[in-house]
A and B are shown apart, each in its own frame.
Chain A
C-alpha cells in the first residue's frame, strides 16, 4: 500500500445543531466550514512580491509621513533577499521610487524611503497604475503578491479609473490591501477598490492614528509570509432539497460573500490565499427540508488549492456534512457554542452594515434602530467599546446631527474584525 502524503489543509465542518427536530416545515441550519492548515512548517515559505502604493500628498505632512517611512523601513528589514519589493509614491503625479527588485540591498532601499516627503494633491489611480506595472514584472504563480495602498484623502475625480484598475488587479489574482489614514478619506471608494479583489484576499482597513501604520503593515507582511496555499476554492455539493440562503466569510475577516451557484445544488466560494495559524472559516446558512427521523448527509464540502512551492496544483480535501433528524426535543435544543459565536458576530456585522446603508439613504429612524440593535449584539459578545460607539452614533442621528466620520469608520472596519483577537482592544489595557 502506498502511503499518501499528508494534505496541507484540513476541512472541519460543524453544524450549529447536529440534531434537529423532525418537523413538517423547512428549517434554517448554520454550517461552519473551517479550512485549517496542518503540518507544513516554516520551510514552506513562498517568496513575496509586495508593492507599496503610497499617498504623499500635502495632507500627509508631519507625523503621518514620518510614521509611514518608519513602517515601510521595518517591512524592508523583515524581507528575505529573494522577496521582491517595489514602492510607488503619488500625489497628483505618481513616480516609481523603488522599481520592482529583490530586497537584497536593504540599506539602499531604506535610504530611498527616507526621501518620501509630502507635496501636491491626490490622484490615486496614477499610483495604482504604476504599482500594478511593478507587481506584474515579477508575478509568478509561486509568489505571494499584494498591493498595499495607503491614502489619507479624497482622490480628485479619478474614482472610476481606480475601480477599473482594481478590477484589472483581480484579473491577475492580485489582492489590494487598502488603508485609509485619518478621517478624511472616502471609505466607499476604498471599499470598492479593495472589495474588487476580495475573492483573492483583498480588504480595506481604517488606520485612525499614524502610529498604527507600523502595526498594520506588520499584519500584512505576516499574513503574506504565512501563506501556505494559494488559489483555494470551497465547493459545497448540497443534496436534493437543501438550498443555500446566505454565505459569510467569518475568518480572517467578516464579509458577506457572493457565491457562484455552479448548478442549482452546488455553491462555490473563492477563498484566495490560505494563511498559516489563521486559515479561513465560512459560515453558510442552509435551508433544510423536513425529513423523517434518521441520519442524513446535507452536503459534501470540498476545498481545492495550489501549493506552487511543492508543485501541487488542484489538490482537494473533502468531508461530509451529516445531520440527525430526531423526535427528541431536548436533544434538538443543543447548540454548538463555537458556531453560535460566529453566527452572533456575523449578525452584529450585518446589523451594522444595514444601519450604515439606511443612514446613507436618509432613513435615520431605521438606522438608529439598527445601530441600537447592533449595540445589543456587540455588548453580548463583549465588545463594550464598539457598542458604545454604535450607541453614540445612534444618539447623534436622533438629535439630527448625522453620523460622525470616525464613528462610521470604526463601526465599518472594526466589526469586520470581530472574529480576530487583535489589538483593537489596546485602549482597554
Chain B
C-alpha cells in the first residue's frame, strides 16, 4: 500500500496528507476533507483515571486495567462499547445591529472569538462576520477589522490595526488592545455604525 506522490513520485505512508519530500497535497489522492469541524460535544471530557489497577482484564492481551478504563492501557483495545457524549455548552447570545435596524447574529458556536471584517476572495480573507452586505466597503471597513471575543462571560473588542480604525462609544480604541464591550455599546468601524447587544 502507501500513497505515491503525484508530483515527485515519493512513496508516502497511508494516511499522509502532504508528501514527505516535496510537500505536495496528497489529499486528492486519498481523502476528502470534511466541511464541518468537530463539535466540542463529541470530544471526551478530561477525566482522572485512578492510579491503582483493580481487575479489568483486556480480552485481547490480558493486561489488567483499572476498573473504569474503557480502553486497554497496554494494547488500546476497547474494553466497553460506548464513549460518553457530553451535552453541548449553552450558546452565547449576542448581536450587532446596523443603523438601518438590520440584526447580525454573532454566532460563537465553539469559538471564543469572531473576526469582523469584509470578505475578499482575492486575498482569501473570510471573516466570521462579513460586513460587505451592510455597506462595509463604502464605509471603509478593513478586511480584518476587529475581533469580538467572548471569555469568562464577558465580551471584548480588539481593533486589528484597521485602516480607518474602530470607535467604541465615540472614542477611537488603540489597535491590538482588547476593550470591554457591554450591552448597548456603540461601535463604529470606519464609518459603519453598529450597536452591540448581548444577553
Contacts and interface: CB of A to CB of B under 8 A. Distances in A.
Contacts, number: 180
B161 A423 contact: yes
Contacts of B123: 382, 384, 425, 428
B30 to A, nearest CB: 7
Interface residues of B, number: 64
Interface in A249-306: 276-277, 287-288, 294-298, 300
Interface string B15-39: 1111000111101001111111110
B127 to A, nearest CB: 10
A392 interface: no
A51 B17 CA distance: 43
A7 B36 CA distance: 28
A426 B17 contact: no
B176 A423 contact: yes
A287 B13 contact: yes
Contacts of B2: 25
Given A239-B76, A277-B151, A335-B34, A350 B15 contact: no
Contact of B78 (A41, A294, A334): A294
Contacts of B15: 16-17, 20, 27-30, 288
Interface of A: 7, 10-14, 16-17, 20-21, 23-30, 39-42, 215, 218-219, 222, 237, 239-242, 276-277, 287-288, 294-298, 300, 316-320, 322, 333-338, 340, 343-344, 347-348, 350-351, 369-370, 373-374, 376-377, 380, 382, 384, 421, 423, 425-426, 428-429
- The list of the 7 closest CB pairs from A to B, nearest first, reads A297-B71, A382-B124, A239-B76, A41-B152, A27-B15, A28-B15, A317-B46
Contact of B76 (A30, A240, A318): A240
Given A28-B16, A276-B151, A318-B48, A337 B74 contact: no
Nearest to B152: A41
A429 B71 contact: no
B167 interface: no
B171 interface: no
B161 A215 contact: yes
A370 B147 CA distance: 35
A11 B15 CA distance: 24
Contacts of A27: 13-15
B152 A14 contact: no
B162 interface: yes
Contacts of B83: 322
A336 B47 contact: no
A7 B152 contact: no
Contact of B154 (A41, A298, A316, A423): A41
Contact of A348 (B16, B23, B160, B161): B23
Contact of A319 (B31, B44, B161): B44
B125 interface: yes
A294 B83 CA distance: 13
Contacts of B46: 7, 10-11, 317-319
Contacts of A298: 76
A319 B61 CA distance: 22
A91 to B, nearest CB: 31
B23 A350 contact: yes
B131 to A, nearest CB: 14
Interface in B155-177: 160-163, 175-177
B115 interface: yes
B37 A336 contact: yes
Given A340-B17, A429-B142, A24 B1 contact: yes
Nearest to B22: A373
Contacts of B152: 39-42
B43 A241 contact: no
25 contacts: A23-B14, A28-B15, A239-B75, A240-B61, A241-B75, A288-B15, A295-B78, A296-B76, A318-B47, A319-B44, A320-B70, A333-B30, A333-B32, A334-B34, A336-B34, A340-B17, A343-B17, A344-B17, A350-B23, A351-B22, A373-B24, A377-B23, A423-B160, A428-B123, A429-B163
Contacts of A25: 1-2, 13-14
B85 interface: no
Contact of B17 (A16, A41, A240, A429): A16
A295 B76 CA distance: 9
Nearest to A24: B1
A142 B99 CA distance: 48
Nearest to B49: A318
A286 B102 CA distance: 49
A334 B32 contact: yes
Nearest to A16: B17
A8 to B, nearest CB: 11
B73 interface: yes
B72 A239 contact: yes
B115 A421 contact: yes
A16 B34 CA distance: 10
B185 interface: no
Nearest to A330: B32
A373 B30 contact: no
A255 B25 CA distance: 21
